[in-house]
Amino acid sequence: SGAAAPLLPAAPPVPEGVVRSPLFSSFAREELAAVIHGLRLHAYSAGQVVVSEGEAGDSLFVIASGVARVFVEGPDRRHREVRRLESGDFFGEISLLTGSPRTATVIAATDCEVLELDRAAVLGVAARHPAVRATIERFCLERAESAEEQAVRGAASFRPAIEAEIDDLELPAEAPAPSLAAGEIAALVPYCTVAVHGEGETVFARGDAGDRLYVIDEGEVEVRFEQRRPLKRLGPGEIFGELALLSSGRRRTATAVTAGPCRLIAIDRPALERLTRERPELIVRLLEQSCAYLVESEQRLVADLRRHNRELERALDFLHRTKQELSTAETLAQTDELTGIYNRRCFEEQIRSHVERAALSGLTVALLLVDIDHFKQVNDRLGHQVGDLVLRRLAHLLQGAVRWSDLPCRIGGDEFAVLWTDLDARAAARRAYELQPLLGAFELAGTPSHLGVTASLGGALLRPGETWQELFARADRSLYLAKRSGRGYLAWDERLADGDAAQA
């Protein structure tokens, strides 16, 4: 994220981008200062991410100064730039109003300032100023129509980029229905059944058994397919229902309903056999038209299936990435934001789990606690920024000195812990003694006189039948013993280490 976002001051100078924004075009500059009072103005350096595609969000943003770029991730995981945002542009309104994930990633192209309006702020401003509400609604409507960002809520939960990505697979145009000329229709009448239908009558329904095709002599018929295919409206001379006649025993794949008064010619199997004997040229013409239509329809169906298969692959790809993102989110939830090592939540989950497994398997668990000596004085004398540097430095030293299977954690303000497994009592104590010179005293470069810092260490090995809380309490008592003895000491299993103190 960007730099700290202070509240705008009581009498803020209104950024030019905010003045130019269509969101606030109905306000005079003096009025605008009151409207944006209390909102947050974020500063971003070039290259910083403002919002990420797929993340939850309920804020709208206005570019107050500078330039930002909008990227959409394709199914190949490559990002393409789709828009450039300049001073006065706003974005994020779709997620704000619908609650859907962000549909794109916005990155600062230059150093820029961004005004944030969260849901509460927008509702408040919109309630007091109808012009703002109207502008937001208009922009949302335009963007939703052009990008179809909320076409299907379920598809949006897969990945808005699937909908935004331009599909390079062109479907063939809808094949025209087979048809006969007026003279050919007249020649069929003596061999076939002619029936007159009123408006809205069902000629046949999807799933019905069928043994005849129909030719429209007068009027129109609507052929209704399954839900994802559009209906077809057929007129005079056009043929429908040919599959049931040409493929014996086949059930109807659509429903045919008259769109008004209609005169239909029905050709059943006896009529087809008679026509084959007496008017073969009509049958050849009928088959020629029907087969051409079926071939073109099959081509369209194959292309349609290919397109849906690609959409399914994209959805599966998104689900795979979502699993990875959830794993990443879980890792972030267990990571200390300041130091980058594991946090107290992770520590408590893992020590509980390790102790439970140790009770079943007999494996060993050891715990080392590390506490910076007189850390409050560092903060009071040199400030919290230096204090943060000290915490990061200790975390870095700790992380670099443990095995990949060990668990280094920051469990409190200036208190750290390392959880070891599969070490016997002698090996665990030896590891603690090896860490003590490294962590017991260290310097912080870049601070006045290369600030010297000491830390006290206390540890313990899990005893049979002991709970994790009891193990922690014994390690904590060891730590208290080390701190009471001076600075930079180590105590193991409630006994002070001999001759290894690194005193300042």
pLDDT in tens, the chain (504 residues): 455 455 444 445 788 888 888 877 777 777 788 777 778 889 999 889 999 888 887 788 999 999 999 988 766 667 788 889 999 898 887 666 556 678 889 999 999 999 988 877 776 666 566 566 556 655 554 544 443 333 333 333 333 333 333 333 344 455 567 788 888 889 999 999 999 999 999 999 988 888 888 999 999 999 987 655 667 889 999 988 887 776 666 788 889 999 999 999 999 888 888 888 888 888 777 777 776 676 666 667 667 667 766 666 665 665 565 555 555 566 667 888 898 888 998 899 889 988 988 888 778 899 999 999 988 888 888 888 888 999 999 999 988 888 877 889 999 989 999 999 878 888 888 999 988 888 888 877 666 556 788 899 999 999 999 999 999 999 999 999 999 988 889 999 888 876 443 333
Q: Which residues pair with 80 in a beta bridge?
A: 72
Side-chain-side CA neighbours of residue 382 (13 Å): 20
- The CATH architecture one would assign to domain 344-496 is 2-Layer Sandwich (3.30)
Amino acid symbol at 374 = H
> Tokens 């329809």 sit at which residue?
297
> Tokens 């995981």 sit at which residue?
77
Tokens matching residue 248: 């014996």
Phi–psi pair at 15, nearest 5 degrees = -60, 145
Tell me the C-alpha to C-alpha distance, in Å, between residue 57 and each of 51, 122, 264, 290, 504: 8, 13, 58, 54, 50
Q: What is the pLDDT of residue 60?
A: 84
User: What CA–CA distance (Å, rounded) separates 476 from 415?
Assistant: 11
Contact 502, 452 (CB under 8 A): no
Contact 72, 104 (CB under 8 A): yes
- Length of the chain measured in residues: 504
CATH topology identical between 16-164 and 344-496: no
Multiple choice CATH, 16-164, 2.60.40.1120, 3.40.718.10, 2.60.120.10, 2.60.40.420: 2.60.120.10
Q: Can you say how many angstroms the Cα of residue 361 is from the centroid of all Cα atoms in its chain?
A: 40
User: What CA–CA distance (Å, rounded) separates 13 from 10?
Assistant: 10
User: What CA–CA distance (Å, rounded) separates 351 from 471?
Assistant: 10
Contact 488, 502 (CB under 8 A): yes
Q: What is the pLDDT of residue 294?
A: 67
User: What CA–CA distance (Å, rounded) separates 138 from 447?
Assistant: 55
Q: At what angle do helices 375-382 and 384-400 cross, to 10 degrees?
A: 140
Q: What is the pLDDT of residue 207?
A: 87
User: What CA–CA distance (Å, rounded) separates 72 from 341?
Assistant: 32
Q: Can you say how many angstroms the Cα of residue 453 is from the centroid of all Cα atoms in its chain?
A: 43
Q: Which residues pair with 418 in a beta bridge?
A: 368, 408
Neighbour-count burial of 5, counting CB atoms closer than 10 A to its CB (0-12 exposed, 13-18 middle, 19+ buried): middle
User: What CA–CA distance (Å, rounded) separates 20 from 270?
Assistant: 77
Multiple choice CATH, 182-301, 2.60.120.10, 3.40.50.12780, 3.40.50.1370, 3.30.930.10: 2.60.120.10
Q: What is the pLDDT of residue 322?
A: 53
Q: What is the pLDDT of residue 502?
A: 37
Query: Among candidates 124, 154, 122, 158, which has minimal Cα distance to 140?
Result: 122
Domain ranges, ordered by start, for the chain? 16-164, 182-301, 344-496
Q: What is the pLDDT of residue 486?
A: 86
Q: What is the pLDDT of residue 285?
A: 77
| Residue 433, helix vs strand vs coil | helix
Query: Among candidates 141, 140, 163, which has minimal Cα distance to 151?
Result: 163
Tell me the C-alpha to C-alpha distance, in Å, between residue 51 and each of 44, 47, 91: 11, 12, 10
Contact 89, 50 (CB under 8 A): no
| Residue 77, helix vs strand vs coil | coil
* DSSP-derived secondary structure letter, 269: H
Residue 201, Cβ neighbours under 10 Å: how many? 15
356-388 b/e (C-beta count within 10 Å ≥ 16 → b): eebeeeeebbbbbbbbbbebeebbeebeeebbe
